[in-house]
A and B are shown apart, each in its own frame.
Chain A
Amino acid sequence: MARFKYNKAAKPLESTVETGIGTSALDLKTIAKAIPCQEACPAKTNVPAYIEAIARGEDDKAYRINQEDNIFPGVLGRICTRVCEDACRHKWTNVEGPVQICHLKRYAADNIKEKQSAMPPWFGPTGKKIMVIGAGPAGLSAARDLSRMGHQVTVVEKAPAPGGMLVDGIPAFRLPRDIVSAEIALIEQGGVEIRTDVHVTQTMVDDYCNAYDAVLLAAGTTVTNSIAIPGAEDRQISGLDFMRGYNRGEVTAVRGNVVVVGGGFTAVDCARAARRVGEKDALVSIAYRRTEASMAADKNEFQAMAEEEIAIRTLLSPLRFELNDRGAGTLVLQRNLVADGTLGVKAKIVPLEGSEVRIPCDTLIVAIGQKRDESLLPFGVDSEEDGKTSKPGLFVSGDFKGGSADVISAVASGKNVARLMDEYLMGKRRLMRGVKYEVTDCDGETGRYRDHDIQFPLPMPMAPVAQRFENNAEVETGFTQLIAQNAAARCYLCHYKFEIDQDKCIHCNWCIEASPRDCIKKAARIFYDADGFPTKVFEAERNQDATYIYIDNDECIRCGKCLRVCPTEAIRMRKLEAGDCVKCDD
């Protein structure tokens, strides 16, 4: 029996490999915890990597990183719903709000220096032919990825131009059309054929299913919801129709005072578009039955609406429309309350009987949502689980699959269905989601220090109101390099993970002394789940109770001071990169 061989607590492992690619549940859990923004993003964009590139002045690289997971960086940099920002670690470790991820994405897209080319293919030609119905964000995402997988992809689109809701629904003052067309051109460059003005019917879908190896229905939601407002039966315009007309230049004027009923993205767009083509001094109002907090608009849009003098009237439901002898209309609404809801359940509307509010209204736009055109779905399809329908070779994605949602969800949906279709066509999963680990040798030098965390983020510059109404000019004018780098420098660069090798650590606590905040802890015990992922850490106060010295990645600011001060070189910094990796046994 050997002497002096001590029993020690097990080394905590948070990955299955040192360097290289890990695809186990533990690896995926580690990356999900380590990079919350990427985990929150439906398309799983590698946010910290591109923000780091922006901070270092490498805008082209940043755009390219975005392109990997998201075909529309320039588009989504303007109109994304930013679930990533809600997950940003600055939300709970700082009082200045999250990193302005979306604005940064746009900054990189706007400041590309070199002409971009299509993303390189993952696999060689497979000889498989695919038809995608709908050239919206979901259809194009799927098409781009399927094309990178080596399939021959054709996209058909009903409208005269590809883009779907990007060009029909969203106004140009929020999303200039050249941005959309440039990014679609990149997809076409990659080998995707787009045919416009093709009106697809159910019979054609059936024909496509016979003629192609796989078909994707990503036709979006084109049928608008309506409500019965007595007196306004033939006067109400649907929000989508109004926006489509406005965007195609068919609607150039609206009469008198405008009321938009609804509180979603379309409602806000309608109101702002109506302000641009409406009569001077006319009232433009939004009437919504819930509160502002439930509206889809973000802070900048509320600010823009205030500047553009759009009245937001909430907790109101339309009752009837009245017309006086002089031809002036009024929308009569009833006050309502929103009942105290249960968590996770949309709260009920409680009308206040007898209350009435009158808003002058000559043009009534109703923007209360859309649904898909059911008639496109071939007869006999009875399940659409995860995008795979009961009809072999037919897939659905985007709004058509899940109902109308935001653009990033559509992009993600297209991305995911592309992988399902590839698996269906090739008989095996060729792309795996995994984590690439890389041990860095830069002395933990990320360029960050504590001052970066606590500086004030600067707001998105906006065009002056007077200039906004000329030529449908874009309202948010974009970050300058100074603002962008300032914003990017706030990012904690969560894709760098500092770790202590417990067998090298001598518990000198120098890293704890050097740490800029409470980011390195003494741990008495660490608990793991079945996959080996640490779920709970019991902290220790005293040295003798500390089994481990443990870096809390939630608090780490990636300044690298701990690594540099460690006298036993026990601390290392690994770069984590989650994404698709080509399966090795291919």
Chain B
Amino acid sequence: MPKNLIFKRRSEDEDIKASGMYLDFDEMGKKGVMSSADSSIAKWYGIYKSRQPGQHMARIVIPGGVVTSEQAKNIAAVSEKYGQGIINVTTRQALQFHWLKVPNLADVMRELFEYGNSTRHGCGDVTRNVTACPLAETCPAARINARKWARKTADVLGAQRDLDDLPRKFKINYSGCRADCAQPHINCVGLSGVVYKGQPGFKVVIGGGMGWKPFVAQPLFGFIPEASAVDVCRAVALLFREHGDRFNRAKSRLKFVVHRNGIDFCRDVVLQNLLSEGKSQEGFVVEDIDDEGTSYEERPLLQDTPKGTDGLFTVRVIIPKGELPFRKFYELAKLSEQYGDQRLYTSNRQNLEMHGVESRDVSNLKFAIHNLGFETDGSFSLRDIVTCVGTTYCPKAVTETRVLFDRIHRLVSRDTYRGILSSGIINITGCPNSCSPYRIADIGFRGMRIREEEGSVEGYEVLLGGSQTSFGEKLGEFKLCDCEEVVTLVLDAFMMVRRDDEFLTRCVQRVGIEYFRRAVYGEV
């Protein structure tokens, strides 16, 4: 059939989706290979191709970022059996396996399912893992239990088949208060707990996102009653489904819909969607309401061992590079049974947490965790560097981010910087996709290659002074071999002008990026 030069408003991925979105992993396993079309659909099952040919990654969806110790042990067992014993914690509170082979994928999913673990909708153009602020239930600052709503949203939206084919991925998260620990402004939909006229509910922002083109989310509603949260998430998903770009996948995320059409248009569509499905809009307030929540600096999340409203403590496990062996993961699950609430919590700093620890057990638990080789204090510090997997596994990555992690980690661990450790965070991402959101960190690195006289070398674009509502400013582009020196110059310059306990980002905003540029480039 001849093909005219028509404007095909559909990408090749959309063609593949239209040809059927189901895979038989057992049959595929017998053949032993996954075609490129199959690998597009495999994303809906949480399976990605790895950088290494024939290897795959599986992402376990963990709504709200909590697994029971039984589920954790199951994950450890599957990792040992099929994934070379490696488990990764992601910044969106999921867990990942690498090194999976096609013949094993069906068994991986089956064995995970035994304990209610699932990779379904781990990737693909669907509602992705719904995240929540880690301290959710017992955070003294929380207005509302974010985790409860995160899990409910995941359950409801995940079961709606008409949301299986969105233009692109769709990310929702819940924070307990306006301190926004779950980072609502860099997600498609962010809901933050607020109290309005004595009634608990959420402030809703939509259209944020990192990636190659970053956007800060815009306020959709100042207040919605908590009972409407899931309905609003669905109404936004429908807005996205109908208005997202299905031709250019690089511009199909909700953030582009909001940016292109304006937030007022989006709000009208969302309200219309609610109306047409007979959902209540009662109590909705468009304008911002007067409940600012806890300030960034004072939020309990930043404490090393925060105490909950139930009088029990949270103990952190800092996972370097977000990667740990199955045996240690298994041991941590056991520790949560012994000291905690029999659950492991994942955080958006790629760390694990144990909640519900009695005051008398805190030191014992920390001792046990130290024995496993992990630190417990210093999350949200310069040493708690978040890095994507980089070229170690990821086919998209440009740089080997873990090399930079090692160098920077060693650098900021020096005694010189003991006084400023808690002044900020460092994120390193291997490509513009920003899996480690480098734009919102105090110091952010984004991998690139830098052209030389002949050939090219690994390097990084370095940003300073980012937060989730104001992204970092560009310091410059530096070769990998220079990055340590650059960080040294930045931190030394920071220490010279730092006021009290000032965060690096606040300092950059106060003195300006030019000060740091001069410090680094040595120009007068």
A-side interface mostly: loop
Residue on B nearest A8 in the bound complex, by CB: B451
Q: How far is the CB of B163 from chain A (nearest CB, A)?
A: 25
Residue from A1, A489, A565, A568 in contact with B4 in the complex, judged by beta carbons closer than 8 Å: A489
Residue on B nearest A487 in the bound complex, by CB: B2
Residue on A nearest B248 in the bound complex, by CB: A564
Q: Are A506 and B398 in contact (CB-based, < 8 A)?
A: yes
Q: Are A508 and B3 in contact (CB-based, < 8 A)?
A: no
A547 at the interface (CB under 8 A from B): yes
**Chain B residues, Cβ within 8 Å of A17:** none
Contact count A vs B, C-beta below 8 Å:
123
How far does the alpha carbon of A483 sit from the alpha carbon of B2 in the complex, in Å? 8
Q: Are B6 and A447 in contact (CB-based, < 8 A)?
A: yes
Q: Are B455 and A540 in contact (CB-based, < 8 A)?
A: yes
Q: How far is the CB of B412 from chain A (nearest CB, A)?
A: 20
**Chain B residues, Cβ within 8 Å of A4:** 476, 478-479, 482, 486, 520-521
B450 at the interface (CB under 8 A from A): yes
How far does the alpha carbon of A559 sit from the alpha carbon of B450 in the complex, in Å? 27
**Chain B residues, Cβ within 8 Å of A483:** 2
Q: How far is the CB of B308 from chain A (nearest CB, A)?
A: 41
Q: Are B248 and A8 in contact (CB-based, < 8 A)?
A: no
**Chain B residues, Cβ within 8 Å of A3:** 520-522
**Chain B residues, Cβ within 8 Å of A567:** 211-212, 250, 431-433
**Chain B residues, Cβ within 8 Å of A505:** 451
Residue on A nearest B2 in the bound complex, by CB: A486
B24 at the interface (CB under 8 A from A): no
**Chain B residues, Cβ within 8 Å of A445:** 7, 247-248
B448 at the interface (CB under 8 A from A): yes
With A452-B5, A489-B5, A507-B449 as contacts: A547 and B456 at CB distance below 8 Å: yes
Residue on B nearest A55 in the bound complex, by CB: B5
Residue on A nearest B9 in the bound complex, by CB: A445
B310 at the interface (CB under 8 A from A): no
Q: Are B2 and A546 in contact (CB-based, < 8 A)?
A: no
How far does the alpha carbon of A451 sit from the alpha carbon of B3 in the complex, in Å? 8
Residue on A nearest B212 in the bound complex, by CB: A567
A379 at the interface (CB under 8 A from B): no
B407 at the interface (CB under 8 A from A): no
How far does the alpha carbon of A414 sit from the alpha carbon of B451 in the complex, in Å? 50
B249 at the interface (CB under 8 A from A): yes
Residue interface mask B502-524, A partner, CB < 8 A = 1: 00000000000000000011110
Residue on B nearest A506 in the bound complex, by CB: B448
Q: Are A506 and B455 in contact (CB-based, < 8 A)?
A: no
B110 at the interface (CB under 8 A from A): no
**Chain A residues, Cβ within 8 Å of B478:** 4
**Chain B residues, Cβ within 8 Å of A513:** 395
Q: Are A508 and B479 in contact (CB-based, < 8 A)?
A: no
Q: Are B431 and A564 in contact (CB-based, < 8 A)?
A: no
Residue on A nearest B4 in the bound complex, by CB: A485
Q: Are A8 and B455 in contact (CB-based, < 8 A)?
A: no
Q: Are B454 and A565 in contact (CB-based, < 8 A)?
A: no
Residue interface mask A545-574, B partner, CB < 8 A = 1: 111100000000000000011111100000
With A4-B520, A451-B3 as contacts: A565 and B250 at CB distance below 8 Å: yes
Q: Are B5 and A488 in contact (CB-based, < 8 A)?
A: yes
A7 at the interface (CB under 8 A from B): yes
Q: How far is the CB of B45 from chain A (nearest CB, A)?
A: 22
Q: How far is the CB of B147 from chain A (nearest CB, A)?
A: 33
**Chain A residues, Cβ within 8 Å of B4:** 55, 482, 485-486, 489
Q: Are A564 and B522 in contact (CB-based, < 8 A)?
A: no
Identify which of residues 422-472 in chain B touch chain A, using a CB-to-CB cut-off of 8 Å: 431-433, 447-457, 461
On A, residues with C-beta under 8 Å from B are 1-9, 52, 55-56, 443, 445, 447-449, 451-452, 455, 458, 482-483, 485-486, 488-489, 502, 505-510, 513, 524-525, 540, 543-548, 564-569
A-B contact pairs, 7 of them (CB 8 A): A8-B450, A8-B451, A56-B5, A545-B454, A564-B251, A565-B250, A567-B250
